[in-house]
Structure 1
Amino acid sequence: MLGLLSESEAREVEQVVAAYPEIKSELNAMEDALTQYAVAKGIPMPADLPGRIIRRLETLDKDVPPGSTTPPQTDSGSGPILPILGFLLITALAGAIYFWFQTDELQENLNTTQTELQQLQVNCDQIQDSLEQIVLSLAVLRSEGNQTFIMRGLPDKNPGAVANVYYNTQAQQAFLDIRELPPPPAGQQYQLWGIGASGVPQSMDVFNIPQGDGINFIPVPYLADVSVFAVSLEPAGGSPSPTDVHMISG
């Protein structure tokens, strides 16, 4: 702790400590308390601070003759002022260290606030994404020339499954809207198919079920002249042709 004072202040404290063992004990107690506080709070104290204190006190033990009880005099010869000055210096030292800990706690509070602001930014980004999805959904539903195909689960596969395909020949766009569909088993994916006049299913890509309960329109590849849509359960990555149909429009 003495290392936090100026050289002149440190010398005066050393003189007081040499003459008054109770002040030396107080310094030791202050060091112990501050060390315990720093450990409890996880505050990194200066690496050389305890060593400086110990070396100072060990030096004082060697310099003061055994049995010496005469307090050092000041230049003016007024003996009692030195312990008072020592008390004031120790008080100032305690205040400086208290300020150091307070500054560290303020830094911790600042770090916590920054973390909360970052989380708030993430939440705002998620809300922004949801709003953009809603705007897209409304635009799709209001588009001129839009057709809606409702796919339902097959009775022996997913009887409660429901999904819509919004198909627009004018804009040449298609969107998939999952209403109710259980997650696929591990290692498998759902795949969307479009069937035209030829009757041959054409892949419109595999898709993942969106997370959350919000509106999620999934853009899918556009195929011309499609009149029927279907969903099959395939190995991850999809198949050239459907092998396990779970949903179909009609």
Structure 2
Amino acid sequence: METNEYIESGILELYVYGLLTESESIEVAAMAKKHDEINTEIIAIEKAIVALSASFSPFHSVANFEKIKAKLELKHGKVVDIKPATTWSQYAGWAAAVLFLLGFAYQYVQLTQTKQAIETVGTEKDKLKSEYALLDQENKATEKNLSIVRDIKNTGVTLGGQAVAPQSFAKAYWNKDTRVTYIDAAGLPKPPKGKVYQVWALKLSPVLTPTSIGLLTNFDANTQKIFKVEDTGYAEAFGITLEPEGGSPTPTMDQLYTLGKV
């Protein structure tokens, strides 16, 4: 501790008033012996106290005055090495440091929580964007399918269930002008593994002549079960059979699921 700091700490006044512990008094005496500035300051404090006492007690005898003065004289003790007494300024510094660390920790926690909240919002935003894109895609598919069903130029052909699957049904939408054909297969059961539905355009006379116009592939992925097949220039009937994956050159008649006449 610098000499000026030691003097300004207030410990010299406590020493003159006799309010320090024995070890602290020994320390002050050692400092006074080592530093003339400190010794001079102690003497100045003593004189000030004596003068103040005289102003408040002017009627004391000269003998009493001298006794008081002698009692306040500086007494030098044994010099020992001892750490300077801790001052309130040091405590204040440590307290400020602790408060700073606590404030920094609080701000760090708040920042971490804010980052986590931002990341959560970003994740939710991305999830909503994906869901919106999927809904938008499904909505467009629905609008397209509705336009097929509502198109008065399309001939709707109902395909009823046959012996192998009486509960099955389907519907064909055939535009004779554009030759575009769509199949609504919502009434067909899920095809077994390794199998696929195959659609046939049938000419009934003079002899039954089937022509393959497409496979209903990716059956599970097509949620609305509306399939566009190959262009159809002629058809007196439509039929759907269950065939090995990849299709067949001719229909397997005992696997005829649905059939309908135009």
Q: TM-score, normalised by structure 2?
A: 0.60
For 1:71 and 1:172, how far apart are their aligned partners in 2?
Answer: 106
- Aligned position for 2:226: 217
Would the aligned equivalents of 1:72 and 1:82 in 2 still touch at CA under 8 Å? no
- Aligned position for 2:166: 159
Alignment counterpart, residue 188 of structure 1, candidates 177, 192, 195: 195
* Residue 165 to residue 71, structure 1, CA distance change in 2 (3 Å): farther
In the alignment, is residue 83 of structure 1 matched against residue 99 of structure 2?
A: no
Would the aligned equivalents of 1:161 and 1:179 in 2 still touch at CA under 8 Å? no
Would the aligned equivalents of 2:215 and 2:229 in 1 still touch at CA under 8 Å? no
- Residues 121-200 of structure 1 aligned to structure 2 (within 5 Å): 121-155=129-163, 157-196=164-203, 199-200=208-209
The offset of 1:71, in angstroms, is: 6.6
The offset of 1:177, in angstroms, is: 0.9
- Aligned position for 1:55: none
- Aligned position for 2:245: 236
Q: Which runs of 5+ in 1 are unaligned?
A: 1-67, 74-78
Q: Which amino acid aligns with 2:219?
A: I
Instruction: Among all aligned residue pairs of Structure 1 and Structure 2, give the percentage whose two residues are the same amino acid.
Output: 23
- Aligned position for 1:248: 259
Would the aligned equivalents of 1:133 and 1:217 in 2 still touch at CA under 8 Å? no
* Residue 72 to residue 121, structure 1, CA distance change in 2 (3 Å): farther
Task: Output one character per residue of 1:29-87: Cα deviation in whole Å (capped at 9) or x when no partner.
Answer: xxxxxxxxxxxxxxxxxxxxxxxxxxxxxxxxxxxxxxx994776xxxxx122122112
- Aligned position for 1:227: 236
The offset of 1:117, in angstroms, is: 1.4
SS at match of 1:172: coil
SS at match of 1:183: coil
For 2:187 and 2:221, how far apart are their aligned partners in 1?
Answer: 12
The offset of 1:100, in angstroms, is: 1.7
Q: TM-score, normalised by structure 1?
A: 0.62
Q: Which runs of 5+ in 2 are unaligned?
A: 1-80
Task: Output one character per residue of 1:181-208: Cα deviation in whole Å (capped at 9) or x when no partner.
Answer: 2111112111111112563222222213
The offset of 1:133, in angstroms, is: 2.2
Query: Root-mean-square deviation (CA), in Å?
Result: 2.5
The offset of 1:134, in angstroms, is: 2.7
Structure 1: which 4+ aligned runs deviate by more than 6 Å? none
Instruction: Count residues in correspondence.
Output: 176
